[in-house]
A and B are shown apart, each in its own frame.
Chain A
Amino acid sequence: MIRHHPSAETLLAHAAGQLPAGHALVVAAHAQGCPHCRAELARLEALGGELLDSLTPEGMALDAFTATLARLDEPPHPRRVPAKPRQANLRLPHGISLPSVLAGAEISRWLWVGPGVRYSRVRLPWAPNDNVMLLSVAANRRVIAHSHGGSEFTQVLQGSFSDETGHYGAGDMAEEDNDTNHQPRANDDGCLCLAALEGGLRLPWLTRLTRRFA
């Protein structure tokens, strides 16, 4: 059962197209598994439609309609879609697959961060500077994920983790502000997460992250 959803503002920002690509990806991964948020997003998009209708129209060029008519039968532009992305085989636990929103992303092999903690860099060709990663934390390991200067969205794909704000299981999404100094710890079942962090990829923080949970 899903207990943690994106905040109302985050869903509004997603519907309005105002989230950075990495954060939008995490929200989309959550919504894929959450009928509640899909319904909320449908309502917010309807709000967008309503607002679009209420806008004062801005005159189009005089030949806009004829120009468009002339192009109706043209084949569509080949989309600037990236070539099939390179995705390392992460050897996920049996029965676990990556959310389909990652289909177009490049996924690196696991990189060691500390005992029991690995991460894989997720690179979005359409937003190469967005900082997205898969994080795998072994049972009872702790991650001090301190992202400097921005918010952090985390979708739990498998297992669970806990911090001061609660217990997050598979399907839950956690939203942390830069001012929350949280220390998430994987529970007995370990944890696989998809996370987006605001700001560039800062490796130094990752190296300082892990500690054996006593």
Chain B
Amino acid sequence: MLAELLSRVAATRDRQAYAVLFKHFAPRVKAYLRRAGMEATAAEEVAQEVMLSLWRKAESFDASRAGASTWVFAIARNARIDHARRVRGLPSEPEPEAESYPSAEALTLTAERASLVRGALSALGPDQRQIVQLFFFSDKPHSAIASALDLPLGTVKSRIRLATAKLRAILGDAP
């Protein structure tokens, strides 16, 4: 459904579709940036920039390759990294050339992958789920995990290893 809206933005610059996407994604992107340690003003500004990128890059969204949330996550993640460079006066990393993967890969079922990932997340215990979340959503994942789970910093690495091993076991060679 979100993917369909994105495709409508790409095809016809549909502003109504864009409004729905904005309402869904902007506050989540902002929450992501805040959790990554960005101050409120900066997070607001970068979240708006991410939403502008969504409008401008909509043509490059390929529903057969990634879900809408996955695509937006990647844009937000890169915007977070780029913002950290900007405040230090550093240039942006050039964007990689368009990926051209073999068609068999492009044809993997995005929806199937999304439901598998959802299943994997719920199969993790609450601690492991939190570890994965903090890994994605903190500025300094290792210390964030240590303090959230009340673990000595030295054991965090092995806990992350366990959580990722479990994830990989569930996801396996899924599409």
Residues of A within 8 A of B (CB): 8-9, 12-13, 16-18, 21, 28, 35, 38-40, 42-43, 45-53, 55-61, 64-65, 67-69, 71-72, 76, 79-82, 100-101, 103-104, 124-128
CA distance A212 to B65 in the complex (A): 49
If A17-B78, A21-B93, A79-B92 touch, whether A47 touches B117 (CB-CB below 8 Å) is: yes
CA distance A146 to B165 in the complex (A): 28
If A55-B32, A58-B27, A60-B30 touch, whether A47 touches B132 (CB-CB below 8 Å) is: yes
Contact across chains for A52 and B174 when beta carbons are under 8 A apart: no
CB < 8 Å: which of B26, B72, B78, B135 contacts A12?
B135
Contacts of A57 in B (CB 8 A): 27-28, 30-31
Interface of A is mostly: helix
Contacts of A80 in B (CB 8 A): 86, 91-92
Residues of B in contact (CB 8 Å), total 75
Contacts of A9 in B (CB 8 A): 157, 160-161, 164
Residues of B within 8 A of A (CB): 15, 18-19, 22-23, 26-32, 34-35, 43-44, 47-48, 51-52, 55-56, 65-74, 76-78, 80-81, 85-86, 90-94, 96-97, 101-102, 105, 108, 110, 113-114, 116-118, 120-121, 132-133, 135-137, 141, 157, 160-161, 164-165, 167-168, 171, 173-175
CA distance A17 to B83 in the complex (A): 13
CB < 8 Å: which of B71, B74, B92 contacts A126?
B92
Apart from A52-B76, A65-B19, list 7 A-B contacts with CB within 8 A: A17-B77, A43-B174, A51-B133, A58-B34, A60-B30, A64-B48, A128-B90
Contact across chains for A126 and B136 when beta carbons are under 8 A apart: no
